């Protein structure tokens, strides 16, 4: 199972990138976040047969998919032992009228998608209590996944520096994923995606997101403004403690 892994938070696979346990990070009260509860990742849709077998052995069979509906089916659709819940983070949002920078991206998503972010956090919290570990993912595991990780780690009282470090830790996996997929004939990586998300993520983007949460009165107040009750917020906050 997942808790039997080494202390390294990154969980290696052949063709499943950016798989990383949110456990093992420092908290402001001197403790560390719990291992084996929440895992962030890129889409598992490119996984090899060996990857799928390894995921099952590690108990990675409960997923929250942050992507918009309509993506290609993958191995999970025919797997009776796998649960996948969709929690589209951006599909209901109006596209920006002008090009935005990568540094602005998370602030804009947090501001426009309060309800979507709150519902995603609540879905992850509910599933993680019922059937941990829960894997939450988008396509490359860096932008939408990174935003949700920022919110969850903030709830767990992880210091800002550690949250930012976790956010940019997705860059090597993203670059590996891009190199692997663009090497295949006929594959156009992230076709049609806004320029703000086509490249690696930056510390500035994470810091801007954290500033926005602070401007909202803190992460709890932000989630309350997105429709969560105090009990639902506490449930999500307790996951990594």
pLDDT of residue 187: 72
pLDDT of residue 172: 97
Q: Which domains, and CATH codes, for the chain? A: 2-237 (3.90.190.10)
> In the sheet where 83-86 sits, what is the strand order?
20-21, 38-41, 134-137, 62-65, 83-86
Q: pLDDT, tens digit, for every residue of 105-139?
A: 899 999 999 999 999 999 999 999 999 999 999 99
pLDDT of residue 119: 97
pLDDT of residue 137: 98
d(CA 5, CA 200): 27
pLDDT of residue 206: 97
Residues 6 or more apart in contact with residue 164 via CB below 8 angstroms: 203, 206, 207, 210
Q: What is the pTM of this model?
A: 0.94
pLDDT in tens, the chain (241 residues): 564 444 469 999 999 999 999 999 999 999 999 999 999 999 999 999 999 999 999 999 999 999 998 888 999 999 999 999 999 998 777 666 567 788 888 999 999 999 999 999 999 999 999 999 999 999 999 999 999 999 999 999 999 999 999 999 999 999 999 999 998 777 777 777 777 788 999 999 999 999 999 999 999 999 999 999 999 999 999 999 9
């Amino acid at each position: 199972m997942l808790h039997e892994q080494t202390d390294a938070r990154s969980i290696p696979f052949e063709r499943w990138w950016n798989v990383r346990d949110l456990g093992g990070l420092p908290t402001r009260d001197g403790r560390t976040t719990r291992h084996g509860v929440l895992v962030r990742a890129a889409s598992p849709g490119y996984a090899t047969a060996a990857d799928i077998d390894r995921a099952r052995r590690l108990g990675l069979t409960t997923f929250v998919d942050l992507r918009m509906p309509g993506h290609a089916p993958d191995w999970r659709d025919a797997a009776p032992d796998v649960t996948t819940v969709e929690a589209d983070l951006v599909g209901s949002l109006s596209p920006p009228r002008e090009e935005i920078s990568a540094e602005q991206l998370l602030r804009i998503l947090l501001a426009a998608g309060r309800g979507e972010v709150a519902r995603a956090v609540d879905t992850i919290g509910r599933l993680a209590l019922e059937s941990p570990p829960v894997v939450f993912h988008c396509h490359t595991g860096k932008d939408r996944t990174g935003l949700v990780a920022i919110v969850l780690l903030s709830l767990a009282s992880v210091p800002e520096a550690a949250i930012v470090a976790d956010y940019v830790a997705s860059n090597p996996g993203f670059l590996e994923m891009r190199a692997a997929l663009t090497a295949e004939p006929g594959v156009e990586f992230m076709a049609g995606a806004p320029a703000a998300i086509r490249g690696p993520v930056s510390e500035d983007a994470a810091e801007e997101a954290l500033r926005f949460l602070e401007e909202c009165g803190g992460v709890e107040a932000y989630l309350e403004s997105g429709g969560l009750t105090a009990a639902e917020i506490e449930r999500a906050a307790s996951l990594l403690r």
